[in-house]
């Protein structure tokens, strides 16, 4: 480290930092098929199969607030967000390791609740807990989960495989987890101002569930197999649709065009967004934590995807020079910015 140079992390952002830290590492082992830069690393297993590996932190005060996050849900979510990365490679998760750092503020019973949620996720997604680490923390609760999965070699889908004119498809609906968080934050402020007022969460069930207890789209991986469609590129929507579109564009060296009117949003989400003075399109583009899948398919597969209740065709890839744009409801082209979650840029 030179004495006179100091680069603030917020000027380079999370992805700039990862690039800077990892660019000097060269691949040394043939078994490493793909390392940094996708939802999971891809490792050779045998002639026909690969192992997929992905890891994520959940940090108290950054990723969750224990004032409104039940520990059981937190355990469940910490597993699901990692499984989502394995599905995003078109793989099947099979094992997890779980590491926790805890302060003595937590009794054994609280951590058992956390593990109750972890166990529920393992049961629902058919995952084995195979290890981890336990240590103390001076500040908050830290959870790190690593997911391992498998896939046939020819089935693995990278961020880099898309071609110009491939259709962009997103599963489910977007923005609900973000609006769920806004509702929880509002009630937290009300409670802090006056602890006698009980939180009013009635009618927000869907939004709260999407925030507190998300699901990974295991079902979509099966639907795609049943439809005999192999996506040309894929990523999970953890940081907001715009950010994920940029990742696919960067991976595949393309531009993209999406259509505002095609973006899937639940009515309750758009209604709540308007109540909160937030543009519903902003929730979708920059909200994050939906854990839906964003993928591309070749034009020939249009008929197989069209009308599928779980999938929305939201646009297509263009040449890199054409940039990344959203066509709004009036037909105007708006340049997209990746304003999703970026650890060092704050909100």
What does the binding site for Mg ion look like in residue numbers (CB under 5 A)?
A: 39, 85, 236
In whole angstroms, the minimum distance from the beta carbon of 113 to ligand ADP comes to 25
Residue 181 or 305: the one with the smaller Cβ distance to ligand ADP is 181
Nearer to ligand ADP, 56 or 112 (CB): 56
Helix axes 267-275 and 176-193, enclosed angle (nearest 10): 40
CB of 113 to Mg ion, least distance (A): 27
Which among Mg ion, ligand ADP, none contacts residue 22 (Cβ within 5 to 8 A by kind)? Answer: ligand ADP
For position 332 contacting ligand ADP by CB under 6 A, the verdict is no
Site pattern 46..65 for ligand ADP (x: CB under 6 A):
----------x---------
| Tokens 């940039």 belong to residue | 323
Quick count: other Cβ atoms within 10 Å of Cβ 345? 14
Choose from ligand ADP, Mg ion, none: what does 37 bind? Cβ within 5-8 Å by kind: ligand ADP
Q: Specify the 3-state DSSP secondary structure of 19.
A: helix
Nearer to ligand ADP, 121 or 278 (CB): 121
Binders of ligand ADP in range 232-291 (CB under 6 A): 238
* Residue 7 contacts which entry, ligand ADP, Mg ion, none (Cβ below 5-8 A, type-dependent): none
* Pairwise CA distance, residues 109 & 189, whole Å: 28
Sheet holding 311-318, edge to edge: 233-236, 293-297, 167-171, 311-318, 255-259, 324-327, 333-335
Residue 164: CB minimum distance to ligand ADP, A = 24
Candidates 31-39, 104-112, 192-200, 211-219; binding stretch for ligand ADP (CB under 6 A) = 31-39
Least distance (Å) between residue 208 CB and ligand ADP: 23
Q: Report DSSP letters for 24-78, one per residue.
A: T-----TTEEE-SSSSSEEEE-SSSEEEEEEEEEEEBTTTB-TTT--HHHHHHHH
Verify binding: residue 18, ligand ADP, rule CB under 6 A: yes
Indicate which of ligand ADP, Mg ion, none lies near residue 333 (CB less than 5 to 8 Å, by partner kind): none
For the segment 132-151, give every residue that binds ligand ADP (CB under 6 A). none
**Three-class DSSP category at 195:** coil
Site for ligand ADP contains 36 (CB under 6 A):
yes
Rounded to whole angstroms, how far apart are CA atoms 81 and 143? 12
Which DSSP letter does residue 265 get?
-
Cα–Cα separations (whole angstroms), residue 24 to 36, 73, 78: 12, 39, 30
What's the CA gap between 104 and 143, in Å, rounded?
15
Nearest to ligand ADP of 16, 37 (CB atom): 37
Q: Which stretch binds ligand ADP (CB under 6 A): 5-13, 15-23, 172-180, 198-206?
A: 15-23
Identify the helix (H) or strand (E) that includes residue 80: helix 71-87
Only one of the segments 16-24, 143-151, 179-187, 217-225 lies at the binding site for ligand ADP (rule: CB under 6 A); that segment is 16-24
Structure token digits, residue 169: 């498809």
Please name the helix (run of DSSP H) or strand (run of DSSP E) that holds residue 118, with its range, or none: helix 108-125
Please identify, using beta-carbon distances, which residue of 142 and 278 lies nearer to ligand ADP: 142
155 binds ligand ADP (CB under 6 A): no
Residues engaged in binding ligand ADP (CB under 6 A) = 18, 21-22, 36-39, 56, 85, 238
């Amino acid at each position: 480290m030179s004495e006179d140079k100091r680069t603030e992390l917020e000027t380079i952002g999370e992805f700039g930092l990862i690039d800077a830290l990892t660019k000097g590492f060269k691949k040394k082992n043939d078994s490493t098929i793909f390392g940094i830069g996708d939802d999971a690393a891809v490792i050779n297993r045998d002639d026909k199969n690969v192992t997929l590996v992905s890891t994520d932190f959940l940090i108290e005060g950054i990723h969750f607030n224990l004032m409104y996050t039940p520990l059981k849900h937190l355990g469940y979510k910490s597993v699901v967000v990692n499984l989502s990365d394995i599905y995003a490679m078109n793989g099947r998760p099979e094992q997890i390791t779980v590491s926790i750092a805890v302060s003595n503020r937590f009794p054994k019973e609280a951590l058992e609740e956390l593990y109750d949620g972890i166990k529920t996720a393992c049961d629902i997604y058919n995952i084995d807990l195979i290890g981890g680490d336990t240590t103390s923390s001076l500040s908050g609760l830290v959870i790190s989960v690593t997911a391992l999965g498998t896939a046939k070699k020819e089935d693995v889908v990278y961020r880099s495989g898309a071609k110009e004119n491939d259709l962009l498809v997103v599963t489910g609906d977007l923005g609900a987890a973000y609006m769920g968080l806004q509702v929880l934050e509002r009630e937290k402020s009300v409670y802090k101002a006056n602890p006698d007022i009980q939180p009013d969460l009635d009618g927000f069930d869907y939004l709260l569930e999407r925030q507190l207890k998300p699901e990974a789209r295991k079902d979509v991986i099966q639907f795609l197999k049943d439809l005999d469609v192999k996506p040309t590129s894929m990523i999970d929507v953890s940081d907001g649709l715009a950010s994920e579109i940029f990742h696919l564009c960067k991976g595949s060296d393309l531009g993209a065009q999406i259509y505002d009117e095609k973006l899937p949003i639940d009515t309750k989400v758009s209604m709540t967004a308007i109540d909160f003075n937030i543009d519903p399109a902003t929730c979708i583009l920059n909200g994050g934590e939906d854990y839906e899948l964003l993928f591309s398919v070749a034009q020939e597969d249009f008929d197989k995807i069209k009308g599928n209740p779980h999938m929305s065709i939201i646009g297509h890839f263009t040449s890199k020079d054409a940039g990344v744009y959203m066509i709004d409801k009036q037909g105007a082209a708006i340049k997209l910015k990746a304003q999703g979650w970026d650890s060092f840029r704050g909100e």
